A and B are shown apart, each in its own frame.
Chain A
């Protein structure tokens, strides 16, 4: 197994030795860093030479349906290479396959695949958490090798939470009491406290078309931090909904949750909605880790989108006439941290001239980015309805400068609304302070 970090692969020779035995004639050694990286960049389509048709990359039968690749190494192929791109970094590793590679076994039968993914997700979390600038990133990259020695000795991943292991190195002398979980690196000493926060995001697509249904789905995450004494405090956290709240669905929980009601397990957005859907309270008994963690993710189908939009574009020679209407639903809290509408005009020339009339807020023009941003601010007016109309003129199209956009093709255009409302959930989902039960010494302070 190898992992790519700052252009260096971490290598595990005992694993390679086993691979040689298991894979037999189909064994392909992991190449040196340079050739590996080159092959990987090619496979991920990151070498931006797309001008000509290249059979090894563009052939119709070269189909990848997972983030697992085969890299050409000489005349052979190194497989499976787990790799993905995230925030400008490539994460890659080569898991051990404990069987012959020809014929290729299905990925599902290789335990190393999910272990490899988990390792890379762990590295990604570690590198991106709290990272502000390049020097911080470099510090973290330099710690990575030592961390992997700790969490991934001989290429076997012991803990995907690298931050924990870093803390563990620093607390090496702490003697572990009996039954200390491996995912808990120490014990908390101090005032007991439990903080829980719920963040909801709404993804909505409104087409205003007969043949395509509009969609709006809420995705929620519940984050907890439990500062409690004792090695294994038991906590139960309940999520509740108001009487008419939209049921939570597709609930995925943190592994520290010890058991789940079958109603929670089966509640899913796949089913048609009906009144019999389970609507809480959603109880999560758990033994919390020390660090802040995501207790659960859920989705929900609220009855209406929080903001209803209408967007019309008319092409008149070199000009575009646009009309936008936005309407905030009355049930939604009218108090935003921010609210702005992004109106892009990709796959055209740069904006040369804009004339507009807005019933509310102001418009900013980013000529080179071909983007208008309508800043709506903290509040919708009393009518709950605002509008914008205008005429935009474009210059000549310059293909080299502009990135290609897949949606703004021909008469198709879109408007993207970004907003955040504090202390409010669309589903109405909340954590009742009194419903949080803690079985540990001391009376904790509970904040939600």
Chain B
């Protein structure tokens, strides 16, 4: 595509600026960066148009060339364009230099590997040091402005890559001596010096002659990148110059300077400071911030160098200069400002914060500075706004708020007044009328009077509530302030109920000190004054926030009376919201009647349904559950409809939810006693549960259905007793039990979880026979032995023994069932298997490695199970 015309470009730039993202996503987006670079060389476009194109490069490089290679290519193209300019005066050289710098720095392409960086840096340095770059580089008349531009570009590169110019400090100093205190050069040197000090301190190195290195080190030859390390690691936060920030983070204390280096450093700083009055005020301020930061905490560099500047700075009305003075104050404290100096600075700041010749934004900023004043010896905790110690009530007199102030100025001054009241509280109570507290009360009353005006602007009401919030926040502990405030606000509500949303907002945000009394006062205010229509709407809104279990009858009376006026849907909903609030608060009897009446009386079916639903909830749910059901919806918030949200809330609260298992169950040691086998279940609790009900289902119906086990409460970390689960086998066989848990969570939800199945083994079903009388054991056993046949069966098998022999095996597994024992070689064992089977074992004539076992049972089905069991024993040893 050939070069675009002027018109086309103007239109294109306009569209792009309107929404860069939309433009770049459109069909022309892809080509914009390329077209722009190529058309910069087109002869058809005028210079102003090209300047406009370059302005775009300066502002939107990230959109035009989002990738590093593209940024690199763009910078190269811009540099080519610069070199190709004919040697006559041109307005393009400066923006081209700025654009190439921006492309490299913003595009992240600045690095030793980048060809464009390797071209740009020597070019800038050459221009900066005033070396003759040949006739091709612009006419002589442009050399001076281009030199300034080069300094600016270098400063930006140093800002983005601290340490880049560390090797040029000597050169820059020499230049400053030669060129005089030129503004951009002074700022560049100050920045490079600051960065170098920080980096050298971090490396634990001295200045290594950087300040005195001759100008030969960087000129001509390739750029020394070893001094500029990779990435953003050297970007240092500004805060360390502020006392609130961590001490030592700045770490300049680590910098060891030789006496020679210290002298050079002092000379450089003095050189910069002494000529600082030649800079514009904003540049002076930048210089002071940089140097203050550079020298803070540096050993052997007394801040007294700054002293000659202070007198000049203190007198000025200039915002940046006074701010820079405060920064110096913060950086050096007592080392630079004696107590008298501090008092004078505070005085000037107080004066400037109210000076009629200064604009409001300046006043407000100074007020902020007063409350964050960097004191030499701060008393309070750092980071909190406080009135400085030296700022007495005398100094503050002119800073008191008045109703005629702008809202922002009013609030800022009010904050100061609150801080004064706080101090007053700590001191003795003095003359009542003149006290700041008295003044504060009058102010608040005035604010309320204005907020009470019918149809007054909302901003006035907002200001009144903001002030009340601020006062309640600052003076939370002072009932002497909060009591009249509460009364005043209640009265304001009486006069203008339309402010109800503001009251609700205030109640939601203030601390309990004001919240509780105000809530009670407002409830009192509402229920004692039934209103109609407009006011009723606000009363109901208010009551939904302030109603609770107290003053039930008055509240219900109010609602009965209100119900007759609630003719439209909005009012009915508001009424129902109050009922809901009362339900949550646990109001019972009288409310049920009201809800029933509403369910009949309301015209709107939606209202009827709601009333009925609330009634049903009230009638069927216990108090705590009701609270949860009506509590804040657990479903996704921010739904458009409150009704949908509310229903989702109910659904979440009243339905049983599937959840992961809150407990782990395992079968514990066997009990082998009692009439039926009982499983001992060990419980491991993973999260707190209430009203736990465990339900068991026996697979294949081998046992009779099992009863549920109930546990009122389980908490992790608290010991639990084992749960007992009696089994009623229909056949003596092992089984799997499916387990489900039903429980409530601490948040009141009812949940349901499937637990892993439990296995009941054959041995879990063993029960002993009743103990026969002493001496009759053998006969008892023989009788049982004989009775098994002919119905049952007999079998023999070899049971191998472990090192403990037969005695160990029996004591470990069969102890409760032994009828006759002749240790260590012979045992007779009788096992009862519910419902009505038996298993008899003769373990006789044990040898070292095993014992022959004769077994009889009256139940054929038991035989394979018994065989498996015994083989299992012998395998286990």
Contacts and interface: CB of A to CB of B under 8 A. Distances in A.
Interface stretch (B1-9, B463-471, B475-483, B566-574): B463-471
Interface stretch (B166-174, B311-319, B604-612, B644-652): B311-319
B285 A66 contact: no
Nearest to A399: B455
Interface stretch (A259-267, A327-335, A437-445): A259-267
B159 A18 contact: yes
A49 B622 CA distance: 46
Contacts of B461: 58
Contacts, number: 324
Given A45-B459, A252-B357, A156 B316 contact: no
A114 B395 CA distance: 24
A154 B152 contact: yes
B282 A118 contact: yes
B20 to A, nearest CB: 6
Interface in B189-231: none
A253 B320 contact: no
B98 A154 contact: yes
B60 A21 contact: no
Most interface-central of A110, A182, A257, A407 (chain B CB within 10 A): A182
A33 B22 CA distance: 12
B873 interface: no
Contacts of B450: 406, 409
Given A64-B408, A219-B356, A173 B141 contact: yes
Main secondary structure of the interface of B (DSSP, over half): helix
Given A63-B469, A113-B365, A117-B319, A250 B505 contact: no
A153 interface: yes
Nearest to A178: B180
A114 B285 contact: yes
B333 interface: no
A59 B508 CA distance: 10
A209 interface: no
Interface residues of A, number: 104
Contact of A66 (B95, B314, B368): B368
A402 to B, nearest CB: 10
Nearest to A57: B462
B347 A266 contact: yes
Nearest to A83: B361
Nearest to B319: A114
A406 B280 contact: no
A182 B21 contact: no
B283 interface: yes
B339 interface: no
B412 A182 contact: no
A61 B511 CA distance: 12
A314 interface: no
A149 interface: yes
Nearest to B473: A61
A37 to B, nearest CB: 12
A21 B232 contact: yes
A86 B348 CA distance: 26
Contact of A65 (B283, B312, B415): B415
B857 to A, nearest CB: 74
B244 interface: yes
Contacts of B506: 60
Contacts of B460: 406
Contacts of B237: 22, 98-100
A297 to B, nearest CB: 4
B93 to A, nearest CB: 11
Contacts of B155: 154, 156
A145 interface: yes
Interface in B413-461: 415, 449-450, 453, 455-461
A204 interface: no
A50 interface: yes
A160 interface: yes
A146 B322 CA distance: 29
Nearest to A181: B278
Given A60-B505, A110-B238, A113-B365, A32 B316 contact: no
A271 B62 CA distance: 56
B184 interface: yes
B11 interface: no
B152 to A, nearest CB: 5
Interface string A81-99: 0101010000000000111
A106 B316 contact: no
A183 B279 CA distance: 7
Nearest to B374: A108
A163 interface: no
A111 B505 contact: no
A107 B398 contact: no
A258 interface: yes
Contacts of A255: 277, 281, 284, 312, 316, 318, 321
A21 B235 contact: yes
Nearest to B179: A178
A253 B316 contact: yes
A38 to B, nearest CB: 13
Contact of A183 (B181, B280, B456): B280
A297 B355 contact: yes
Interface string B328-353: 00100000000000001001101110
A217 B355 CA distance: 11
A67 B182 CA distance: 33
A269 B323 contact: no
Contact of A11 (B60, B351, B367, B459): B60
Nearest to B415: A65
B356 A299 contact: yes
A115 interface: yes
A221 interface: yes
Interface in A164-212: 172-173, 175-176, 178-183, 203
B466 A13 contact: no
B235 A106 contact: no
A107 B368 contact: yes
Given A158-B184, A399-B455, A67 B355 contact: no
Interface string B14-36: 00011111000000000000000
Interface string B371-396: 01110000000010000000000110
Contacts of A59: 505, 509
Contacts of A178: 180
B51 interface: yes
A107 B364 CA distance: 11
A158 B184 CA distance: 8
A109 interface: yes
A121 B184 CA distance: 22
Interface in A16-69: 16-18, 21-22, 32-34, 45, 50-53, 55, 57-68
Interface of A: 8, 10-14, 16-18, 21-22, 32-34, 45, 50-53, 55, 57-68, 82, 84, 86, 97-100, 103, 105-111, 113-115, 117-119, 121, 145-146, 149, 153-154, 156-161, 172-173, 175-176, 178-183, 203, 217, 219, 221, 250-255, 257-260, 264-266, 268-271, 287, 297, 299, 399, 404, 406-407, 409
- 5 smallest CB-CB distances across A and B, nearest first, come from A252-B317, A98-B238, A297-B357, A53-B501, A114-B323
Given A59-B509, A153-B156, A156-B152, 18 more contacts: A13-B60, A14-B102, A45-B459, A51-B458, A55-B505, A60-B468, A65-B415, A66-B361, A99-B245, A114-B323, A117-B362, A252-B316, A252-B355, A252-B357, A254-B317, A265-B344, A270-B395, A299-B355
Interface of B: 17-21, 51, 55, 58-62, 94-95, 98, 101-102, 105-106, 108, 141-142, 144-145, 149, 152, 155-156, 159-160, 180-184, 187, 232, 235-239, 241-242, 244-245, 275, 277-286, 289, 311-312, 314-324, 326-327, 330, 344, 347-348, 350-352, 355-362, 364-365, 367-369, 372-374, 383, 394-395, 397-398, 403-404, 408, 411-412, 415, 449-450, 453, 455-462, 465-466, 468-470, 501-502, 505-506, 509-510
7 contacts: A10-B59, A65-B368, A117-B361, A118-B281, A153-B152, A252-B355, A409-B453
